[in-house]
Amino acid sequence: MVQKQGNQFVVNDQPFYVNGFNTYWLMVFAADQSTRGKVSELFHQASSAGLTVCRTWAFNDGQWRALQTSPSVYDEEVFKALDFVISEAKKYKIRLILSLTNNWDAYGGKAQYVKWGKAAGLNLTSDDEFFSHTTLKSYYKAHVKTVLNRVNTFTNLTYKNDPTIFAWELMNEPRCTSDPSGDTLQSWIQEMAVYVKSIDAKHLVEIGLEGFYGPSAPDRAKFNPNSYATQVGTDFIRNHQTLGVDFASVHIYADSWISQTISDAHLQFTKSWMEAHIEDAEKYLRMPVLFTEFGVSAKDTGYNTSFRDTLISSVYKTLLNSTKKGGSGAGSLLWQLFPDGTDYMNDGYAIVLSKSPSTSNIISLHSTRIATFNSLCSTKCKWGCKKKNPLEEFLYHDDL
């Protein structure tokens, strides 16, 4: 299992810094024999680039090829598809962050839970009642319990005992705009983090937040991308001080949050956004922080591959600057990696490594540096220098 030691991830007491990616639709592709091979193809390409962690959905609520067709009712063939995704990840030595539901309508999410509640006769007026209504919370808990206790039909391992799983994510990008104070979402996070841990004390848990600062830290609101971000019911520092939450998650979307026209302001925001959250993770949270989604859309005005490469390099550089100091910057996950022949799924952010040689080279180089550090232990530098930690030693000699 990946574990947390202070503000670092470790495996067998050795540092585990993350260079990873998102591909959210793996389970749906695996559910169809005609597209299942794309899952293996993607993991092969990612592994070849040195990527070690993938974030993907462990939910599809009431939609096309649904995993959960109605509360606590599952399509066994789709569950076997998720089994396959996990078994293939293991084969390619890739660990998985599995998200358990969505804030957004895609793949069902909280809106679907509310629809189920209404169909059962509940008087519900807002999708945000997902976070507060006892029945809807019981639906979500039942899903958590089913997934964590699932026995993989390919490996015979129960999910909660499988080290291929890096962490559980409570929800993709939770927001509760009906309560800007943050109290409603905070209460839900507290309840659900402890519930996950009550079933599975071995795996790490994270929330799935975008990283917006809320009312508990007014002095940090200046780092938010806009004033609206303060009003969505999330509160980065307060939320992550919750019992049962092991590490912080942050997303980076300058092109969605600031402007859809490419400019240097995107790079400046990305750097300050990351540095602020790394500092918070060190000072207040004392935990690792993963930047679990970042990217830039090819649909943006002024987009070109060169800018994407610059953005990715900037994210990697900021992380390495933290890591050199033994800081909380624990890694990042690109949004998102695609295999060949899946362009019809592209939301604008897709990276196809075979078609993007310059981007692929940047990813592979960063993977090499991270892998080198992960293989080092805190012993005397073989070159005889006096740097503070193994990565600083490595980067010092790498730069020379």
In the beta sheet, which residues pair with residue 19? 332
Report residue 34: phi and psi, to 5°: -75, -20
Tokens of 118: 């209404």
**In the block, which residue shows the tokens 């998650």?**
249
d(CA 250, CA 32): 32
* Contact present, 367 and 50 (Cβ < 8 Å): yes
Alpha carbon distances (Å) from 199 to 1, 142, 171: 16, 11, 17
Instruction: Indicate if 41 belongs to the active site.
Output: no
Question: Which residues are CB-neighbours of 97 under 8 A, at least 6 positions away?
Answer: 20, 53, 54, 55, 56, 165, 166, 167, 168, 169, 206, 292, 333
Tokens of 334: 């690109």
Instruction: Indicate if 88 belongs to the active site.
Output: no
Tokens of 346: 């592209």
Tokens of 238: 């307060």
- Catalytic residue (choose from 88, 169, 173, 210): 173
Active site members: 173, 293
